[in-house]
């Protein structure tokens, strides 16, 4: 099954000076910090791209490719976002 996660349009991404980011939920006032890799993924959660699509884009963007465990880490990141209501699948 090709799941195409979609970011909650109400969640605001703010990129900080050190390339890390903050996801802000204006309804609850809660924030979550995300890494540059998290930002890369977040910006592609458009409801059209699958996990494989996003990982392929990431692999192409990373010098030397992505590590073997990238798929597992992607799954954990999406599950975390979904738990917070930031993403629907």
pLDDT at position 58 over 80:
yes
Confidence (pLDDT) at 1: 55
The pLDDT value recorded for residue 28 is 93
CA distances 74 to 21, 29, 77, Å, are 17, 25, 5
List of domains in the chain: 6-88 (3.90.930.60)
Beta bridge partners of 32: 23
d(CA 48, CA 88): 12
% of residues, the chain, pLDDT over 70: 99
Q: What is the pLDDT of residue 2?
A: 77
Arithmetic mean of pLDDT, 18-41: 95
> What is the rounded average pLDDT of the residues 46-51?
96
**pLDDT number for residue 75:** 95
């Amino acid at each position: 099954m090709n799941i195409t996660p979609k970011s909650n349009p109400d969640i605001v991404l703010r990129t900080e000076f050190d390339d890390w980011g903050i996801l802000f939920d204006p309804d609850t006032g809660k924030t979550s910090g995300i890494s540059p890799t998290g930002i890369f993924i977040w910006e592609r959660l458009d409801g059209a791209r699958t996990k494989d699509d996003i990982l392929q884009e990431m692999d192409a963007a990373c010098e030397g490719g992505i590590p073997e465990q990238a798929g597992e880490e992607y799954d954990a990141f999406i599950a975390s976002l979904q738990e917070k209501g930031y993403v629907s699948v």
